[in-house]
Amino acid sequence: MRMRLPIEVQIMALCFVVSCIATSCDSGDPSGKVSEELPHKLTSEQAGALILANKNLSTSSEMASHLIDITPSDIWEQTGHQLFKNIEATSSWDTFAVSDGSAVQIGMGFGGFGVTSAVPYDVNKDGTVDIVYAYSFGSGLHRSVIAWLDLQNSTEHIISSKPAQTDFRQYDLILKTEDKQIGVYRIKNTGTSKTSLDVLRTYPSKTDIENMTLVKEGELVWENGEFFNIPVD
């Protein structure tokens, strides 16, 4: 004769099975798709060693020891890349995109603040989320530039204005993702206080940006195979 389990044991077993099924089915994504696992994050020291080992980058051990991780959370979550910025006082404040054992410099920082803003965005609609960023440089003549890094092949592309600008932007920029587009904002009255300069020298936080006076100057638009900054009135 087969022995029946007590009702309490049967209920506990049933709950265990239901729990296992729920755990195995829950991907953390309401669409039911299992998200790709992000790569392991590097420390600033590990990123410095990787950058130094890249023979295509002109760097020094002094610079590599002054890197800070400025990666916005949305860039990490959507691209798996980290951004590291050199903040050594007497050198160029350059920024590097690092992922999967590779590193590439984005923009330039000599004489300026380097990268001041970066957002994830699939620029050319190829299914790969890229990195769009603004940076400033210039010894004597300060200028700001917008560019994007194609993460399919790690190539940098400068974004031109349409119609073309006739002079340099002698101010710094903040980029914001808005309604499936990227808005371009000028930082008004940056000032010369140490606090203002340190915010841009490192990288503005969300709170820093909220406290800025921003003036919208354009929107980035993919048009006929090119990415343009279209001025707004």
Is the whole-model pTM more than 0.85? Answer: no
pLDDT for the residue numbered 90: 73
Which segments in the chain show pLDDT lower than 50?
A: 1-6, 8-35
Integer Cα distance of 219 and 233 in angstroms: 11
User: Which pLDDT belongs to residue 37?
Assistant: 66
Could you tell me the CA-to-CA distances from 185 to 52, 122, 188 in Å, in that order? 34, 20, 9
> How confident is the model over 39-54, as pLDDT tens digits?
789 999 999 999 988 8
Closest to 155 (Cα-Cα) out of 102, 104, 114, 121 = 104
Chain centroid to CA 204: how far?
12
Q: Given the structure tokens 């309401």, which residue do they identify?
A: 30
Residue 202 amino acid letter: T
Give pLDDT, residue 19.
Answer: 41
Query: What's residue 22's pLDDT?
Result: 41
Nearest CA to 186 out of 231, 149, 140 is that of: 231
**What is the distance between the alpha carbons of residues 14 and 198, in angstroms, rounded to a whole number?**
59
Residue-wise pLDDT for 128-163, tens only, equals 999 999 999 987 788 999 999 999 999 999 999 998
